[in-house]
Structure 1
Amino acid sequence: MDSWKQMMEWKKFADQYLGQNFFTPYGQQDEEQRNQHAEPAEEKGFPAVNIYESDNELLCIAAIPGLEKAEDVDVYVDDRSVHIKGKTNLVGGKYRIAKQEFGSGSFSREIELPYRVRSDAIQATYKKGFLYLRLYRLPADRQKPKKVDIRRFDD
């Protein structure tokens, strides 16, 4: 096998392994990125979310820059997940996008929770680009196990 063919095979392997065009000539990649539109927010995992837990509470913090009003985001909580969807509006005015890591527009994300939570006691606050959700653990069924009486089969 000649060295050119070996290099092309290695390039193909590197591209597959790294998930990108690893050998794009310097400068060409920057130009390509400038000409591309940002990926839809949901493909990037937007909004980014951190979840902190204690024995009885969860604190979910979602980074959502660009919300103009509370009506621009909806939060739905069921016993095992949080679904956040909404719309952001970030504009650079007279500037063109040179690099974009978070988009503007509609987004939707569902986040699984580490344990079941109550849907009747939720606190939500938006401050400085972050959505804070305070959730409370759903108490376990405290009912004691009931002994089941078994009748004889031959009666």
Structure 2
Amino acid sequence: MILRVTVCQLSLTILEYAEGQSNRSNVVLDGIGEEPGETWDQTEEKVKDILVDKLKLQRGIEIDRAHCTGKPAANNTSPRPIVLKLLRFKDRSAVLERAKNLRGTNIYINEDYTDVVRMKRKELLPKLWEARERGEIAFLRHDKLIIRPPEHSRA
């Protein structure tokens, strides 16, 4: 019985790792308006325009796929997130680096995490906020919370 439980846990760990690797070159875009009946090609063109116009990236970034996730809301008040699968990890890094150019807009770019990692990050948020209130430098890196003392107190 113990062996069966261990094998199941190991299988879940391997599946989580595989899912994380398949999401490795993905980013998620939030806040991009969506037209009723919009096709994947139209979504991809819209994303390409944002990459060039707002992020100041070149057209050389190759997109494997860009599609909305989930079902559209009945009242259509908030646009669905767009999963952007890029062909190269370097392109993903470039997109995430330039995401700061979107400040002041309602468009956000984030990494595409697995459901398990998203849950862990959500659980860590209260601790992150507490650390920041204490004046510490706190941030999330993947599914880990990093807390450092304030810069001015370093020796």
| TM bucket normalised to smaller | under 0.3
- TM (norm. structure 1) is 0.24
Higher strand share: 1
Determine which structure has more spread, i.e. the larger CA radius of gyration.
1
Q: Which has the higher helix share?
A: 2
